[in-house]
Structures are given as C-alpha cells and as structure tokens.
C-alpha cells in the first residue's frame, strides 16, 4: 500500500480498486475497506450518486427513527463491500434500496398507529403491515430487526416469528370468458387445422390433459354415440357437436397421410410408425392462438369446481378430491373475468 501511495494512488477508491486487481491483493483490499468503513472515510467514486439517493431516502424517516435506519444501511453497505473485494456474491444496490423503501413504508404505517420508536414496535404492528408484498417485506423486516436486536436498539426482535403463509388454492392465470368465446368461434371454422381444433376443444370443453389428447386412439372414439374414452375417466365422455365435428374432419384427413398409426393426432413423423405424437405437439398446435393445453384444462376445471360439487367433478374428471378442492379455495386469479354471469355478449370480431 505504501508503494501505491508513493506512486500517486491516494484516494480511497483508487487504493481499493488497485489492490483488488493485484495478485493476492484482495485480502489487503478487504482489510483496508473495513478500516475505511469503521472510520467513516468518505468516497467520491461512481457510488456517490447511489449514496446520495440512499441518504435522501433516509432523511425522510422521522427524526427518532433515523439513527437506527442510518446504522442499518451502513451495515448493509459494509456487507455489500466485503464480498465484492474478495470477489464473491454480495448484496445488490437494488436489494439495499428495497430494504430502505420497506423501512420508509413501515415508518408511515407506524405513524398511523402512533408508534415513533423502533423499540416500541410489536409483532402485531408488523402483522398489520404485512397486507401486501409479503414475500418481499418479511425478509427486509427480519434483517432490520435482527440488526437492531444485536445493536441493543430494541430489546426484542418483533420480526423473529414472522412467517410467510403458504398460498393455498389455484393461483394460476385463467382464460377469460370473452377469449373463450373467440377461441370457440375459431375452432368451428373449416379453415382451421383440425388437429388444433381437436386439442383446443377437448381441453377447453372436456378438461382433457395434454396426455389425454396425445394418447387418444381410434379405438377410443365412437362418433355414432358421440363419445370418447380418456385415460383417467371411468366412463365414456359425451362430446359436444363442435368437438364431434372437429374429430370427424381430423379422421377424414387421415387417408391423405397414408398412415396406419392408431392414434388420432398424426404428425409428419408419427405417420411412419405406431407411436403417439410428442409431448410438445399439442402445445405447438395451439401456438397460433397463444394458449396452452394446460391453461385450457385448468380454466375448465376451475369453472366446474366453482359451479358444481367438487366431489362430483373429481369423480367425473378422474382426479382426487383434494385436487378438485384446490380450485375452489379463494385464490383463483380474475375469477370474475373467467366465469362471468349470464348475459355476456359474444365478440363482434373473431380471431384469425
């Protein structure tokens, strides 16, 4: 280090950067960085703007909450700097910024509850704060109050027992009712690939899985009775007219492929052997309309579970009662759009 100072490398940033680049100099840079941090040596490097932003946010904390907030940020910065000097992973500036923002949001929440001291914060205060962004706020609160407890700023750690409640129920995206109508209009047109029509209609109307569609063989189809046999269903599945017509067109096109394949969905590759299409083919068949077999099936299962007894649905679809109940616990995304009431008007324009 003396050699660097004599060579004109004098600023803290230049010393740390130069030492970090030299062979075996990372440990020296880490020690020097800790020294600068403990003694509050200022830096004028590229992080000055970031530091100014952090300080501006901390200045918005109430006066009694600022000292602990400042100590916490200094601690985070030191935790960030040391791994960087050693060449390891460290906290990102974005993570530190989010920690500061959570403190600001918590301070506003505490103000509404008449709390103006970190030592007076209770677990109840934190639980009422955790109504949104739980997954992001809990780690920030645990980190901050563990720090204040170690520094004896607070006598207890009110965040010690905070746990993110496990989300229950189906929380995936559903296809809204208007989009379902558009898809049905598309799948009744003669100029649509019949294989796309079969996959889409079986999944959306009859809750067929990707595997159900792939494994559907000619022996499973009875167009005279308008039924098909799906893998996990105990009884033949009654078909609607749209699905019957799509399957009939698909069967009519089979002679043009000159294949003896026993499965309904025949591709360029499977026409030469007697195996089902690949797992990815039903997904590719729906690529043009931007949906997947899984999304269509889950939309139908959610609809059935909401409208009917989930136990009856489980028996009819061939799934467990627990899986059926999964769709009626109140976390279905945009259920009001997926399952609106009667009276919806069909769209004026159809998808191409």
Mean pLDDT for back-to-back runs of 10 residues, the chain (352 residues)? 61 64 61 62 56 85 93 86 59 86 94 92 91 85 94 92 66 84 94 94 94 93 94 90 95 83 90 88 92 92 82 84 73 44 40 38
Tell me what pLDDT residue 229 has.
Answer: 94
Tell me what pLDDT residue 321 has.
Answer: 79
Tell me what pLDDT residue 89 has.
Answer: 58
The Cα–Cα gap between 322 and 339 comes to: 22
Residue 118 in contact with residue 148, Cβ under 8 Å?
yes
Tell me what pLDDT residue 340 has.
Answer: 44
Tell me what pLDDT residue 314 has.
Answer: 85
Q: How wide is the angle at C-alpha 189 spanned by C-alphas 186 and 194, nearest 5°?
A: 90
The Cα–Cα gap between 190 and 201 comes to: 14
Tokens of 124: 């109840």
* 91 Cβ neighbours under 8 A, 6+ residues apart: 76, 79, 80
pTM over 0.85: no
Tell me what pLDDT residue 86 has.
Answer: 54
Tell me what pLDDT residue 338 has.
Answer: 40
Tell me what pLDDT residue 63 has.
Answer: 92
């Amino acid at each position: 280090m003396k050699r660097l100072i004599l060579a004109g490398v004098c600023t803290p940033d230049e010393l740390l950067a130069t030492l970090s680049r030299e062979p075996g100099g990372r440990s020296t840079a880490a020690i020097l960085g800790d020294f600068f941090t403990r003694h509050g040596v200022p830096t004028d490097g590229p992080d000055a703007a970031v530091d100014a932003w952090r300080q501006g946010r901390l200045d918005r904390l109430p006066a009694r909450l600022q000292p602990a907030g400042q100590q916490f940020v200094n601690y985070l910065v030191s935790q960030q700097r040391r791994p960087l000097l050693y060449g390891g992973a460290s906290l990102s500036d974005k993570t530190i910024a989010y920690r500061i923002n959570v403190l600001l949001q918590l301070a506003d929440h505490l103000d509404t509850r008449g709390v103006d001291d970190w030592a007076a914060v209770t677990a109840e205060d934190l639980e009422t704060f955790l109504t949104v962004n739980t997954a992001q706020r809990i780690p920030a609160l645990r980190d901050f109050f563990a720090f204040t407890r170690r520094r004896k700023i607070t006598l207890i750690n009110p965040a010690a027992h905070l746990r993110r409640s496990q989300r229950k129920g189906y929380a995936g995206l559903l296809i809204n009712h208007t989009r379902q109508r558009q898809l049905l209009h598309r799948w009744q047109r003669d100029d649509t690939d019949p294989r796309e029509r079969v996959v889409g209609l079986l999944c959306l109307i009859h809750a067929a899985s990707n595997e159900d569609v792939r494994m559907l063989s000619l022996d499973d189809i009875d167009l005279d009775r308008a039924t098909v046999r799906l893998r996990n269903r105990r009884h033949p599945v009654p078909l609607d007219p749209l699905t019957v017509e799509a399957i009939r067109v698909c069967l009519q096109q089979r002679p043009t492929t000159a294949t003896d394949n026993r499965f309904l969905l025949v591709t360029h590759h499977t026409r030469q052997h007697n195996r089902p299409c690949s797992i990815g083919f039903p997904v590719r068949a729906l690529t043009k309309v931007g949906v997947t077999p899984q999304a269509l099936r889950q939309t139908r299962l959610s609809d059935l579970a909401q409208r009917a007894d989930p136990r009856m649905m489980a028996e009819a679809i061939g799934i467990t009662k627990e899986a059926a109940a999964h769709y009626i616990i109140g976390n279905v995304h945009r259920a009001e759009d997926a399952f609106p009431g009667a009276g919806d008007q069909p769209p004026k324009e159809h998808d191409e």
